[in-house]
Structure 1
């Protein structure tokens, strides 16, 4: 049975940890509100832009769609893995890592054997994981989520787009957590490049066929619309991941606080039992000593 001092030390340690996890939960809750608002506000804009793009691409007179729609034999693959810069957020980062590993094993196994699967890591946790396992890393972006903005996010998108245009990569895929609610994040795998042509049975809900008047020309409009759509796609993924991170951390810290409370109950019970046992032992020693003196 542990001593009273050991139990007291453990109680103080768990109580301090509980205070930290409770504070982290409150911080994540405050950050979640802002991140969730940004993510929700971006969805209508991204959805509408995708609807316009779908209508344009379904126009029979569009013609050449440019380099970002070129489909080539898939030899070189780039996977954009979106994780967080900090831990203590449950399975948030491990789920992305597992999804990337599963994607490589199931879809790009042949390219991986030839060393032609490259990771673009957004977030320190993903970078550290793939670096430890000697996975080919071409670029990393950290500290983006501290001041997440379109200007910061488009840098990563432009890097991938430039690599695809130079035929350094034949396919680019994004893996990230999509925010559903505080307790639920959904792993998404989206093809970033080449641009997927919308099919009749996979059009975005609410999209209707429309005719456009192009000014100054179709080619110039499309050349501006496609890159912007791709950058918005990555920015939206980062916003979703940021909201998911704070939701996952809030849930994890809430659970940790509850577990600390349960552990404190057990430690207090152990402390009381140990204390009672010590008192009983002292009483027995006193009684035994008094009997010895009386018999002596």
Structure 2
């Protein structure tokens, strides 16, 4: 049985752990807000790129996108965006399970795909699920400022794959929402979805002044597609990071409740044991006092 000193140390350790959990909660809450603000800015940038593509589509046929987008049944490049650190529940496990199910349903076997994983925790979950070793592992960005470098590294790798004959590019990541705080989604990078292009070309221009495409339509289109890929990958990383912080916040809230319950339990046990010790000491004092108060011969006098 623990002594009062042992229980006191347990309470101190639990309170220190509770302080760490509260700090991590604050970091996650701030991280969510920062990544949501960055995502909003990236959506504005993506909208500008889409407007440029809308102008290019009016200047030339949508077929100009086919060489840039690729096609056919060749190799498929897959990007999986996970986390670099843990303490975020089943964030990576659910993402890996979703990606494997989608790839299996699409008939994309191991020999037909090249895998790029962002985040060492996601790589570990992928390997634990029986997935093949990735062709490339990219460290997940730790801050919003490091996102641009990570996205550029991913795009450079995708360019190398496309130059090597990879026909299609897809991306899997988590986004905020769902019963568990995040939900996995699939993003089609290349080839460009023809239905989306059709809707984009039919979209109403926001003003009465229609812009014109300056320069060769093909060159302008290729540049816009490059920016479209950048914006989509950047947005996916931002959404993934926000979802990771959301899951970590949920996990830390559960941990804080659990630690709080444990501290209450320890304090009650400490108080009960302390009361027992005090009671035992009082009984010893009373017993000692009564023994010392007895006089020699009192018992015989009382018997007479």
Q: TM-score if structure 2 supplies the norm length?
A: 0.79
> 1:5-54 CA distances to partner (integer Å, 9 max, x unpaired)?
33223212211100111112222333333222111111122134235435
Give the one of 138, 142, 146 matched to 1:141. Answer: 138
Q: Do structure 1's residue 86 and structure 2's residue 82 form an aligned pair?
A: no
What corresponds to 1:64 in structure 2? Answer: 64
1:155-176 C-alpha deviation (Å, 9 max, x unpaired)? 2023113313421x33322111
- Give the equivalent residue in structure 2 for 1:158: 156
- SS of match in other structure, 2:194: coil
Q: Mark the runs of 5 or more structure 2 residues left unpaired by the alignment.
A: 300-304
**Superposed counterparts of 1:203-242, under 5 Å:** 203=199, 207-208=203-204, 213-242=212-241
Change in 2 beyond 3 A, CA 1:76/1:91: same
Give the structure with higher Rg (CA): 2
Which residue of the other structure, out of 169, 173, 187, is the alignment partner of 1:176? 173
Listed one character per residue, the Cα deviations across residues 235-294 of structure 1 (whole Å, up to 9, x for unaligned) are 111122222223332333233223211221111112222333444455666778889998
Q: Counterpart in 2 of 1:38?
A: 38
Report which stretch shifted further, 280-289 or 212-221.
Answer: 280-289
Change (3 A) 1:278 1:98: farther
CA deviations 1:63-120 (Å, max 9, x no partner) are: 43243322211x5333211112112223333332232232234334x613xx434321
SS of the equivalent of 2:159 reads helix
List aligned pairs for 1:1-296, cutoff 5 A: 1-53=1-53, 56-57=56-57, 61-73=61-73, 75-108=74-107, 111-112=109-110, 115-131=111-127, 133=130, 135-146=132-143, 147-167=145-165, 169-179=166-176, 184-199=181-196, 203=199, 207-208=203-204, 213-281=212-280
Q: What TM-score does the superposition give when structure 1 sets the normalisation length? A: 0.81
Are 1:164 and 1:193, in contact at CA under 8 Å, matched by a contact in 2? no
Aligned length, in residue pairs: 288
1:199–1:124 CA distance, 2 compared to 1 (3 A): closer
For residues 7 and 129 of structure 1, the distance between their equivalents in structure 2, rounded to whole angstroms, comes to 38
Give the whole-Å Cα distance in 1 for the aligned partners of 2:183 and 2:201. 20
1:87–1:125 Cα contact (<8 Å) kept: yes
| Change over 3 Å in CA distance of 1:271–1:286 after alignment to 2 | same
Where structure 1 has 5 or more consecutive residues not aligned to the other structure, the ranges are: none
- Root-mean-square deviation (CA, aligned residues, Å) is 3.4
Shift of residue 61 of structure 1?
A: 3.0
Match of 2:302 in 1: none
Q: 1:198 aligns to what SS in structure 2?
A: helix
The whole-number CA distance in structure 2 between the counterparts of 1:199 and 1:36 is 25
Give the helix-richer structure, 1 or 2.
Answer: 2
Specify whether residues 138 and 12 from structure 1 end up closer, same or farther in structure 2 by C-alpha distance, changes over 3 A only. same
CA contact (8 A) 1:154 1:234 kept: no
With over 3 angstroms needed to count, the CA separation of the structure-2 counterparts of 1:58 and 1:139, relative to structure 1, is farther
**CA distance, structure 1, for counterparts of residue 249 and residue 154 of structure 2:** 28
